[in-house]
Amino acid sequence: MEDLVKIAQFLSDTEAEIARAKLESGGMEAFVFVENLGGEGPRQGRLMVRPDDVNEACEVLELDVPTTRMNPLVDRAVVLIGLVLLALAVAGLLIAFR
Protein backbone atom coordinates (compact mmCIF):
# COMPACT_ATOMS: atom_id res chain seq x y z
CA MET A 1 0.00 0.00 0.00
CA GLU A 2 1.33 3.40 -0.91
CA ASP A 3 1.85 6.13 1.67
CA LEU A 4 -1.25 7.76 3.08
CA VAL A 5 -1.59 11.38 4.09
CA LYS A 6 -3.33 12.44 7.29
CA ILE A 7 -5.74 15.23 6.46
CA ALA A 8 -7.59 15.46 9.78
CA GLN A 9 -7.63 14.26 13.36
CA PHE A 10 -11.08 14.04 14.94
CA LEU A 11 -11.89 13.94 18.65
CA SER A 12 -14.25 11.04 18.02
CA ASP A 13 -14.10 8.10 15.68
CA THR A 14 -17.73 8.76 14.72
CA GLU A 15 -16.85 12.19 13.31
CA ALA A 16 -13.97 10.64 11.37
CA GLU A 17 -16.26 7.94 9.94
CA ILE A 18 -18.79 10.58 8.82
CA ALA A 19 -16.02 12.47 7.00
CA ARG A 20 -14.79 9.22 5.44
CA ALA A 21 -18.30 8.39 4.21
CA LYS A 22 -18.63 11.86 2.70
CA LEU A 23 -15.38 11.39 0.77
CA GLU A 24 -16.26 7.88 -0.35
CA SER A 25 -19.69 9.02 -1.58
CA GLY A 26 -17.75 11.33 -3.89
CA GLY A 27 -15.65 8.46 -5.24
CA MET A 28 -12.51 8.93 -3.11
CA GLU A 29 -11.00 6.15 -1.05
CA ALA A 30 -10.44 7.23 2.56
CA PHE A 31 -9.27 5.45 5.69
CA VAL A 32 -9.95 6.00 9.38
CA PHE A 33 -7.47 4.83 11.99
CA VAL A 34 -9.04 4.70 15.43
CA GLU A 35 -6.97 5.39 18.51
CA ASN A 36 -8.15 4.63 22.01
CA LEU A 37 -5.73 6.22 24.42
CA GLY A 38 -6.71 3.79 27.15
CA GLY A 39 -9.58 3.21 29.48
CA GLU A 40 -13.16 4.07 28.75
CA GLY A 41 -12.34 7.46 27.22
CA PRO A 42 -13.23 8.70 23.76
CA ARG A 43 -11.77 7.06 20.68
CA GLN A 44 -10.07 9.51 18.34
CA GLY A 45 -10.13 9.06 14.58
CA ARG A 46 -7.39 9.94 12.13
CA LEU A 47 -8.63 10.46 8.56
CA MET A 48 -6.16 9.56 5.82
CA VAL A 49 -6.30 9.57 2.03
CA ARG A 50 -4.03 8.70 -0.86
CA PRO A 51 -1.57 11.46 -1.85
CA ASP A 52 -3.34 12.09 -5.17
CA ASP A 53 -6.63 12.77 -3.33
CA VAL A 54 -5.37 15.23 -0.69
CA ASN A 55 -6.36 18.48 -2.40
CA GLU A 56 -9.81 17.27 -3.47
CA ALA A 57 -10.53 15.67 -0.08
CA CYS A 58 -9.58 18.84 1.77
CA GLU A 59 -11.76 20.88 -0.57
CA VAL A 60 -14.77 18.58 -0.03
CA LEU A 61 -14.35 18.69 3.76
CA GLU A 62 -13.39 22.38 3.78
CA LEU A 63 -10.03 21.68 5.45
CA ASP A 64 -6.64 23.30 5.03
CA VAL A 65 -4.31 21.20 2.91
CA PRO A 66 -1.64 19.58 5.15
CA THR A 67 1.88 20.76 4.45
CA THR A 68 3.68 17.58 5.50
CA ARG A 69 3.02 13.89 5.22
CA MET A 70 2.48 12.07 8.48
CA ASN A 71 3.74 8.55 8.88
CA PRO A 72 1.36 6.44 11.03
CA LEU A 73 4.35 4.95 12.86
CA VAL A 74 5.61 8.42 13.74
CA ASP A 75 2.15 9.37 15.03
CA ARG A 76 2.12 6.31 17.30
CA ALA A 77 5.63 7.06 18.54
CA VAL A 78 4.64 10.62 19.44
CA VAL A 79 1.63 9.37 21.40
CA LEU A 80 3.74 6.74 23.16
CA ILE A 81 6.41 9.28 24.12
CA GLY A 82 3.69 11.59 25.45
CA LEU A 83 2.23 8.81 27.58
CA VAL A 84 5.65 7.89 28.96
CA LEU A 85 6.35 11.52 29.87
CA LEU A 86 2.94 11.79 31.52
CA ALA A 87 3.60 8.63 33.55
CA LEU A 88 6.97 9.98 34.66
CA ALA A 89 5.39 13.30 35.68
CA VAL A 90 2.70 11.52 37.72
CA ALA A 91 5.31 9.28 39.36
CA GLY A 92 7.35 12.37 40.24
CA LEU A 93 4.31 14.04 41.83
CA LEU A 94 3.50 10.91 43.82
CA ILE A 95 7.05 10.78 45.17
CA ALA A 96 7.10 14.52 45.91
CA PHE A 97 3.86 14.45 47.90
CA ARG A 98 4.52 11.23 49.74
Instruction: For the chain, give every domain's residue range.
Output: 5-69
Q: Is the pLDDT of residue 72 over 50?
A: yes
The whole-number average pLDDT for the span 62-85 is 71
The model's pTM is 0.61
Q: Chain-wide mean pLDDT for the chain?
A: 83
Domain 5-69: assigned CATH number: 3.30.70
Q: Kindly indicate the confidence band of residue 1, based on its pLDDT and cuts at 50, 70 and 90.
A: very low
Residues 18-40 pLDDT 10s:
999 999 999 999 999 987 766 66
The b/e string for 53-88 (b: 16+ C-beta within 10 A; e otherwise) is bbeebbebbeeeeeeeebeeeebeeeeeeeeeeeee
